């Protein structure tokens, strides 16, 4: 029992200092006006302003697109990887880029997407006129999806990898077609991985902000941009915290929607 208590200390310290306290401070701050009086005005401002609601919509919409694209790319990739001989090695190659700092990768994309960057050279080679790629929605989503993809592949790969091969063989033996095996065996058994992947991609995507400026040229405005502005420029920490609280609520909703379903057993 004493031993258990000892192990509990680092975990609870972490939880209190880096999760509990910040959330409480932020909640408290979100009910303070600029002159430090208790107020609901921040929430009224947020919910009563077309600008913030549109920004909220933008954040959710882009996060949805990014998640969808990463999912479409990741699932077949994970499925393919799990059938390879040296799968851990091939998986490592996909994880490799995550070891490089996010900002550095973003700057690399500026070079690729710019007017006389590699991608436009390629387009020209095919005989088309160079395109404006930077500062477009498409390039923003491309870069964001590129950065998030490893976090989608990993959990899906793990869950597919854990599927007992004999279950798949049994499915074939019992006369199921390839599609039926996929639909009835592989997909349900990898559902937890997909959920974990969606959480790992959707939630951070809600508050992306450096990429919106560097690649999106501030043509894509999400809640992250507004938080930065309120804490640094206008010093309205109350409203900044309110947006933070709204983001946390959005995350809780995402978690609730994608949580592991309890097995609905027969009663």
Alpha carbon 23 to its chain's center? 20
* Backbone phi and psi for residue 38, each to the nearest 5 degrees, phi listed first: -65, 135
Which of 3, 233, 260, 265 is in the footprint of other proteins by CB under 8 A? 233
In the DSSP assignment, the letter for residue 38 is B
Residues 26-45 touching other proteins, rule: CB under 8 A, are 34
In the bound complex, what is the minimum distance in angstroms from residue 142's beta carbon to other proteins? 16
Measured between alpha carbons, how far is residue 248 from residues 47, 111, 156, 243, 266 in Å?
16, 34, 25, 9, 35
* Per-residue contact flags (x/-) with other proteins for residues 129 to 168, judged by CB under 8 A: ---x-xx---------------------------------
The C-alpha atoms of residue 14 and residue 197 are separated, in whole angstroms, by 25
Residue recorded with tokens 């005989």: 127
In the bound complex, what is the minimum distance in angstroms from residue 209's beta carbon to other proteins? 12
54 lies in the binding site for other proteins (CB under 8 A): yes
In the bound complex, what is the minimum distance in angstroms from residue 49's beta carbon to other proteins? 8
Which of 16, 36, 44, 51 is in the footprint of other proteins by CB under 8 A? 51
Closest by CA position to 113, among listed 150, 94, 140: 140
In the bound complex, what is the minimum distance in angstroms from residue 194's beta carbon to other proteins? 32
Residue recorded with tokens 């006389």: 116
114 vs 158, beta carbon nearer other proteins: 114
221 lies in the binding site for other proteins (CB under 8 A): yes
46 vs 151, beta carbon nearer other proteins: 46
Number of residues forming the site for other proteins (CB under 8 A) = 25
Q: Which two tokens stand for residue 55?
A: 């920004």
Which of 112, 189, 236, 251 is in the footprint of other proteins by CB under 8 A? 236
- Asked if 131 contacts 55 with a C-beta cutoff of 8 angstroms, the reply is no
In the bound complex, what is the minimum distance in angstroms from residue 260's beta carbon to other proteins? 31
Cβ-in-10-Å burial (0-12, 13-18, 19+) of 239 comes to buried
Buried-exposed string 102-112: b where 16+ CB fall within 10 A, e elsewhere: eeeebeebeeb
In the bound complex, what is the minimum distance in angstroms from residue 226's beta carbon to other proteins? 6
Binding region for other proteins (CB under 8 A): 34, 51, 54-55, 110, 114-116, 132, 134-135, 213-214, 217-219, 221, 225-226, 229, 232-236
């Amino acid at each position: 029992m004493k031993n258990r208590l000892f192990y509990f200390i680092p975990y609870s310290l972490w939880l209190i200092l880096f999760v509990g306290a910040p959330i409480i401070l932020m909640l408290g701050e979100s009910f303070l006006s600029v002159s430090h009086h208790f107020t609901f005005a921040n929430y009224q401002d947020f919910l009563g302003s077309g600008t913030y609601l549109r920004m909220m919509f933008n954040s959710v919409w882009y996060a949805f697109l990014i998640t969808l694209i990463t999912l479409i790319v990741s699932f077949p990739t994970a499925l393919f990887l799990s059938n390879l001989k040296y799968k851990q090695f091939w998986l490592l190659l996909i994880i490799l880029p995550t070891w490089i700092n996010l900002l550095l990768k973003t700057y690399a994309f500026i070079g690729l997407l710019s007017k006389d960057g590699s991608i436009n050279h390629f387009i020209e080679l095919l005989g088309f006129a160079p395109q404006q790629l930077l500062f477009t929605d498409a390039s923003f989503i491309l870069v964001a999806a590129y950065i998030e993809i490893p976090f989608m592949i990993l959990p899906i790969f793990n869950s597919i990898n854990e599927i007992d091969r004999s279950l798949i063989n049994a499915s074939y033996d019992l006369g199921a077609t390839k599609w039926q095996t996929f639909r009835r065996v592989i997909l349900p058994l990898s559902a937890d991985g997909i959920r974990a992947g969606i959480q790992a991609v959707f939630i951070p995507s809600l508050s992306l902000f450096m990429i919106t400026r560097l690649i999106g040229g501030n043509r894509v405005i999400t809640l992250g941009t507004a938080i930065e502005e309120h804490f640094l420029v206008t010093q309205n920490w109350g409203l900044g915290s309110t947006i933070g609280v709204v983001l946390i609520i959005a995350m809780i909703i995402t978690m609730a929607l994608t949580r592991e379903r309890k097995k609905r057993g027969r009663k």
